[in-house]
Amino acid sequence: MMNTSSSTPPVAETGTGGVRVSTLSNGLRVVSESMPDVRSVSVGIWIDAGSRDEKPQVAGASHFLEHLLFKGTARRSAQEIAESLDAVGGDMNAFTSKEYTCFYARCLDRDLPLAVDVLGDMMTSSRVRSADVDAERDVVLEEIRMHLDTPDDLVHSLWSEAFFREHPLGREVLGSVDSITNMTRAQVHRYYRRAYVPANLVIAAAGNLDHDRLVELVGEVFGGIEDPGTPLRKSVPPLRPEPASAFTKKPTEQVHLVLGGPGLARGDDRRWAAAVLNQALGGGMASRLFQEVREKRGLVYTVYSYQEVHGDVGAFAVYAGSAPQRAQEVLQVVTTELAKARDDGLSEAELARAKGNLTGSLVLSLEDTGSRMSRLGKGLITATPLLTLDEVVAAVEAVTLEDTRAVGEVLLGGPQTLAAVGSVDAKLRLRLQRVVSAA
């Protein structure tokens, strides 16, 4: 992708509820939400490419590239990139997921042109030099080693690998020691040129801004790129969940457990009911699992449930960490509570609490520009309808007990995958597998 000062006007615009969306003639989309009562702006460049879009031999390329784009462009050194927002009191960072990558900045409203220029420069003109690849390779390898040394993180990767199997969603976002060690500069640069194209990009911003001015700024950086490129993601065979288990023995004081199975894809109409059920089961201190496993029995310090939501598939899982001698009992209580929820559903009180928690936390989470920007960028990059806050609250409030019972049959009734990391000997493995088989 080449940088240029030419600009291209938007060819289409939509918007609702204070949100405006413009599309440049090269396919790049710009979305914003005005918050006139603040003095700051958050802006993010979202790339429709993540670990699921990599070939196995370059596993971790998206995350590797996230690091490398901070190492310098034709116009700025790595130090100048670091100093640019810091000098005006702003901040800049990035993250990579299985389905997208995001580079973002938060600054005073007057410094929005600077933020767009710096981020755009990184997207279009990074050098990805061989020396930087070699230097940053060691940084990423240290990050992988840190992940491998953190059992309550590692167990989720182990579970995903066992659950998704050959599906690309089963790969670790960081890649592996082998893939990062062997990845060449040419491979990383080729991935950069394929992924960072207008067809794969969304620029999102929220705060005290003018949408037309934002589009103008984006056009100055990206508008002269005439070739939109080709979307990176390829269709893959559908996932066919099967019972599975995976264990990694480590000399730890706890056994870390994840138990889960099939969930819902991102656009599923039942997602609101699934969110309510997840909140009631393991979403907070008042949730069923927290009360039963920690408060009443004192078996764990941490237990929670979560959803893993992707464009074409999803998962629902429960995490818990306990002393090895209590791991079997913990898993037994978890499977019992999940079976009760599947067979009997939630109570009226649980339903009300879960809906109140979700709507309240949603409103509170959107008090800052960063959260607003993320909602916009994630929605557009994942082709999720950009609902207004009132529409989301109404959708949650409309969930009934019957809705949660029906979705519970999906989230809690499929084949289960178990992963465990820690002091797991052969006898404990067998006991844990028997608990899952009997559930």
Same domain, 196 and 286: no
- Contact between 414 and 261 under an 8 Å Cβ cutoff? The reply is yes
Same domain, 213 and 352: no
Q: Using the 8-state DSSP alphabet, how is residue 246 labeled?
A: E
- Averaged pLDDT, groups of 10, the chain, 439 residues long: 48 70 95 96 97 94 97 96 96 97 98 98 95 96 97 97 94 97 97 94 97 96 87 80 95 97 95 98 96 97 97 96 98 97 96 97 92 97 92 96 97 96 96 94
Q: Report yes or no on 227 lying in a domain.
A: no
Q: Which of 222, 253, 268 is the last residue of a domain?
A: 222
Tokens 């609250």: give the residue.
393
Angstrom distance (rounded) from CA 322 to CA 257:
8
Domain containing 260 equals 244-438
Q: According to DSSP H, which parts of 229-382 are helical?
A: 271-282, 288-289, 327-344, 348-365, 369-381
Query: Are 256 and 393 in a shared domain?
Result: yes
CB atoms within 10 A of CB 330: 24
Q: In angstroms, rounded to a whole number, what is the distance separating the alpha carbons of residues 278 and 408?
A: 9
Catalytic, 161? Answer no
253 shares its domain with 183: no
Same domain, 212 and 292: no
Cα–Cα distances (Å) from 26 to 30, 49, 377, 382, 431, in that order, read 12, 18, 18, 19, 58
Give residue 6's pLDDT.
44
pLDDT digits (tens, 9 = 90+) for 110-167: 999 999 999 999 999 999 999 999 999 999 999 999 999 999 999 999 999 999 998 9
Contact status, residue 289 vs residue 334, Cβ threshold 8 Å: yes
Question: Are 217 and 251 part of one and the same domain?
Answer: no
Asked, for residue 233, whether it belongs to a domain, the answer is: no
Same domain, 185 and 291: no
* Residues linked to residue 42 through DSSP beta bridges, in sequence order: 106, 206
Residues 171 and 287 in one domain: no
Residues near 284 by beta carbon (within 8 Å), at least 6 away in sequence: 290, 357
> Is 228 within the bounds of a domain?
no
Q: How far is CA 266 from CA 312, 382, 420, in A?
A: 7, 8, 27
- CATH number of the structural domain spanning residue 349: 3.30.830.10
0.75 exceeded by pTM:
yes
Q: Tell me the three state secondary structure of residue 38.
A: coil
Q: Indicate the residue type of 45.
A: I
Instruction: Indicate the residue among 188, 222, 256 that finishes a domain.
Output: 222
Q: Establish if 232 belongs to a structural domain.
A: no
Query: CA 336, CA 338: separation in Å to the nearest integer?
Result: 5
**pLDDT per residue over 343-354, tens digit each?**
999 999 999 999
Task: Identify any residues that bridge with 249 across adjacent strands, giving them in sequence order.
Answer: 422
Beta carbons of 136 and 175 less than 8 angstroms apart: no
Question: How many structural domains comprise the chain?
Answer: 2
- The answer to whether position 236 is within a domain reads no
DSSP state of 56: G
Residue 234 in domain: no
Question: Residues 204, 112: one domain?
Answer: yes
Whether 206 and 289 map to the same domain: the answer is no
Shared-domain flag, residues 188 and 252: no
pLDDT on residue 14: 65
Q: Is residue 322 part of a domain?
A: yes
Q: What is the spatial distance between Cα 116 and Cα 38, in angstroms, rounded to a whole number? A: 19
Residues 253 and 200 reside in one and the same domain: no
Q: For residues 101 and 201, what is the distance between their CA atoms, to the nearest angstrom?
A: 10
Which of 33, 54, 66, 161 is catalytic? The answer is: 66
**What are the structure tokens assigned to 13, written together?**
């615009």
Indicate whether 3 belongs to any domain: no
